[in-house]
Amino acid sequence: MAAPVFHEIQRFNRWWHYLLIAVPALLVAGSAVGAYLGAFAMTNSKPVAVSGFAILMAILMVIWVLRLKLETIIDEQGIRAHFHGIPFCRRTISWSEIASIDVLTYSPFFDYGGWGVRYGSGQKGWCYNVAGNTGIKITYKNGKQFLIGTQLEAEAKTVIHHFHTSS
């Protein structure tokens, strides 16, 4: 029988994620268009170039956020978490490094200040999350902690139990 594997990909795709992306992008684009139209009427090329650059940056920022994804893999080797689109946000944790692991409910806002790649105050350590309030909390043998958000609580518990109790 093959060992179980947990594989989850999460994206920022809730309606409120789109709202958080759209409002600033529209404000930047609207301001840039206004500056462009004002500068065009005065035939000054510098504000026109800056306005075009601001619009381009707003578009690129929206595309970047929409392409972000958190990938979590749990298998016989350990746990891998990778926040695609953010440099240096990749963790590989072998089962031998883990003192304890649990799937639990937490407060993204109060424990880590929100969603994304976050650092919690006190002993909470780093957190990679996208949405929701369920996470895989890992405590390393050196006492440091790391939390990975998940939307698949039951599946994560099953695979973790399989590997952590047998190690």
Q: Are residues 131 and 120 both part of a single domain?
A: yes
Q: Are residues 103 and 118 both part of a single domain?
A: yes
Range of the domain at 56: 9-67
SS3 per-residue string spanning 63-106: HHHHHCEEEEEEECCEEEEEEECCCCCEEEEEHHHEEEEEEEEC
Residue 40 has a pLDDT of 55
Q: Are residues 36 and 102 both part of a single domain?
A: no
pLDDT band at 9 (very low <50, low <70, confident <90, very high): very high
At 7, the amino acid letter reads: H
Q: What is the pLDDT of residues 37-74, one digit of tens each?
A: 665 555 555 665 666 677 777 788 878 888 889 999 99
Q: Are residues 48 and 96 both part of a single domain?
A: no
Last residue of a domain, one of 27, 46, 67: 67
Mean of the per-residue pLDDT values of the chain:
84
Residue environment code for 112-136, b if the CB has 16+ CB neighbours within 10 A, otherwise e: beebbebebeeebbbbbbbbbebbb
